Amino acid sequence: MTTSDDVVVEAVGLKRLYPITKGILFKKKIGEVRAVDGIDLQLMRGETLALVGESGCGKSTTGRLLMGLEPADGGSISVLGDDLAKLNSRQMRAKRRDIQMILQDPYTSLNPRMNVATIVGEPFAIHPDALAGRSRSEAVRELMDRVGLDPSMVNRYPHQFSGGQRQRIGVARALALRPQIIVADEPVSALDVSVQAQVMNLLLDLQKEMGLSYVFVSHDLAVVRQIADRISVMYPGRVVETGKAESVYAAPAHPYTLALLSAAPIPDPAVQAERERIKLSGELPNPADPPSGCRFRTRCWKAQEVCAREEPQLVEISSGHSVACHFPQREDAKV
Amino acid sequence: MSDLQVEAQSAQAAGPESRTVAADAWYQLRRNWVFWVSVVLIVGISAIVLFPGLFASEEATTSLTGGCQLEDSLEAPGDKFLLGADQQGCDVYSLSIYSARTSVSVGLLTAIGTTLIGSLLGLLAGFYGGKSDSVLSGVTSIFLGLPFVLGAVVLLSSVDLPDIWGVVFALTLLSWATAFRLVRAKTIEAKGQDYTLAARALGAKDLRIMFRHILPNAIGPSIVVAVISLGIFIGAEATLSYLGLGIQPPNTSWGVMISEAQNAFFTAPWVLMVPAGFLTVTVLAFILLGETVSDALDPKLRK
């Protein structure tokens, strides 16, 4: 599983900067938001890589960069061996058959003026050869069935469905082209907890059946725990800790990961009452003007003078588990 | 209007639970008497425009066929002339009926023209943004700032287009900016929606995204404005014709009739009142239709 043949998505030194401009007709650049600031990612075939972090840390931007929906301002992305920056628009369209996306909000991700047959059928309108001999309505019915929706509902409009059903429609649309990779941007965070579980199970089943690789963007560590094989924890624009899910959950090394884990509730009142919670004070640093050195130092209880001076780099602390911190938590310490 | 009904019916055919925005609007409209009044008026006006011969005889509108006799000049309403005669001795009622086609054509063509031009430019500007958007929006602000009547007067006295086309041209040029602004704003809104992002992720080209995803979600308000302004354009044509810059005799429109009636207003008010009445009712009918449809389409205004 770890030979380079099995890497389906690889990002190296990925950057995305949004300019801050002033003026109406003659725009002047007065600064930039470093939304994604030099991150490395690797997604293996058939695995789920979770990108975790709080709002504004650049995880959704990373997802859109991997989809080629936004241009990267630095670094490179290769999907199934092809560098996205080197593809022309026709090759890029062809590449989209391999990598698809599930969006967060099932209420805005479906066009309110289209019925389900049109929404789920649109991938085939754009890539007719993906039908492989089937009629479009046949293909749409197959997909509806696959995601657990009654195929007789194809003539309905999005507003006639519940949030969970709508998210299933979004999943059906993403599966239509039989992609190998799916970028799921907070796919269940807009849903009720009971419905979340159903959609998560659907995603897990589909992964098993179709051998999908997921990039799973989420802020919810409880959800991530169900699906992730590996986790990368992001803090504005940077990956601060990455490793196998078990090892990150069992032995978080970065103080930020520690704080995130302690914020996720444990479904056992006795344990939940006893454990110590780390409360972070303050907000995310302004990504237009990040603090010097370690970006987390302004909220970190371990911060010392060196943290302001030097930016910590990702260092491997155990097999496949890396952390960017000057004072990582030792593995034997308890949370 | 007919689109709305067709959509509503097909939605009902799909099952009782299957209700689109249009079907909801139709449900709302069916119960609104103002809507029905405007529909009845517009059906009547359309009949007059399409088949004027059913309501009056063309012979009564011209002296060539022996209709207008100078001896009947300013004849009061009565047995011979239902609504009186004008200075030329023509039947005012018949003339008003035969003037409807010109007046309504100007309104309809201008409404279609402004909506097409304004929507298309608004869609392009909103979708592509950047420099072209800045330039187009700037130009729009200039057009919105022009005084309407003055602008039309200047345009019509400087271009020489035949018949109603000059009026349609001037009115369209001065009015497309409203549709542009509406569609541009809605395009920018729809462009940022996730369904547009999803279409892009599927590999949809710009044209598909603009016309299949954005336009259906952005065109609604400008259609409503088009219906309302259809009435206003008919009124504007009358204003320009009254000033002698619009439709030129021997072609006739309600504006031309009103213009010619002004000399004799105190001795023969019917010559002015009849075409003015037709004009007012027509303008009102379109404005009422536009406003009731607009209210029905806006869920926030529903009771």
For the stretch B219-261, pLDDT in tens is 888 888 898 888 889 888 888 888 888 888 778 888 888 888 8
Q: How far apart (Å, rounded) are the C-alpha atoms in residues B268 and B271?
A: 6
CB within 8 Å: B134 and A160? no
H or E segment to which residue A217 belongs: strand A213-218
Residue B116 lies in a domain: yes
Residue B2 lies in a domain: no
Q: Pick out chain A residues at pLDDT < 50.
A: 1-3, 334-335
- Selecting from A92, A113, A155 the residue whose C-beta is nearest the C-beta of B18 gives A155
Q: For chain A, which domains are there?
A: 4-98+179-254 (3.40.50.300)
Identify the pLDDT of residue B300: 58
Identify the pLDDT of residue B302: 52
* Nearest residue on chain A to B138, alpha-carbon basis: A25
Residue B245 lies in a domain: yes
Residue of A111, A139, A143 whose CA lies nearest to A125: A139
Residue B50 lies in a domain: no
Query: Closest Cα of chain A to B269: distance in Å?
Result: 52
CB within 8 Å: B194 and A103? yes
Query: Closest Cα of chain A to B203: distance in Å?
Result: 5
Say which residue the tokens 């080197």 belong to.
A86
How many DSSP H helices and E strands does chain B contain?
Answer: 13, 0
DSSP state of A110: S
Contacts of A173 in chain B (CB under 8 A): 198, 202
H or E segment to which residue A36 belongs: strand A28-44
Q: Tell me the residue type at B16.
A: P
- From edge to edge, which strands make up the β-sheet containing A315-318? A99-102, A181-185, A213-218, A48-52, A230-235, A238-244, A321-323, A315-318
**Sign of the C-alpha dihedral, residues A72, A76, A79, A83?**
positive
Say which residue the tokens 């840390």 belong to.
A57
- Selecting from B21, B134, B201 the residue whose C-beta is nearest the C-beta of A67 gives B201
Tokens of B5: 């009904």
CA angle B275, B281, B284 (to 5 degrees): 135
Query: Closest Cα of chain B to A269: distance in Å?
Result: 38
Residue B76 lies in a domain: no
- A88-108 burial, b at 16+ Cβ within 10 Å, e below that, comes to eeeeebebbbbbbbbbbbbeb
Query: Closest Cα of chain A to B199: distance in Å?
Result: 8
Identify the pLDDT of residue B55: 81
Provide the domain limits for residue B266. 83-189+217-292
Identify the pLDDT of residue B203: 92
Contacts of B20 in chain A (CB under 8 A): 157
pTM of the model: 0.81
In sequence order, what are the beta bridge partners of A316?
A322
DSSP state of B56: S
Q: Pick out chain B residues at pLDDT < 50.
A: 1-18, 303
Domains in chain B, number: 1
Residue B146 lies in a domain: yes
CB within 8 Å: B216 and A126? no
Query: Closest Cα of chain B to A239: distance in Å?
Result: 25
Identify the pLDDT of residue B5: 44
Residue B110 lies in a domain: yes
Under 8 Å between Cβ of A104 and A137: no
Tokens of B173: 């040029």
Residue A155 CB-density burial (10 A; 0-12 exposed, 13-18 middle, 19+ buried): middle
- ipTM (interface pTM): 0.86
Instruction: Determine the residue among A61, A67, A122, A160 to mutate to test chain B binding: the one whose Cβ has the most chain B Cβ atoms within 10 Å.
Output: A122
H or E segment to which residue B297 belongs: helix B270-297
Q: What is the CATH number of the domain that holds B162?
A: 1.10.3720.10
* Nearest residue on chain B to A155, alpha-carbon basis: B14
Contacts of A169 (CB under 8 A, 6+ apart): A106, A110, A116, A119, A120, A147, A149, A158, A161
User: Taking every pair of C-alpha atoms in chain B, what is the biggest distance, in angstroms?
Assistant: 77
Residue B128 lies in a domain: yes
- From edge to edge, which strands make up the β-sheet containing A82-83? A28-44, A7-22, A74-79, A82-83
CB within 8 Å: B14 and A156? yes
Identify the pLDDT of residue A318: 86
Identify the pLDDT of residue A170: 95
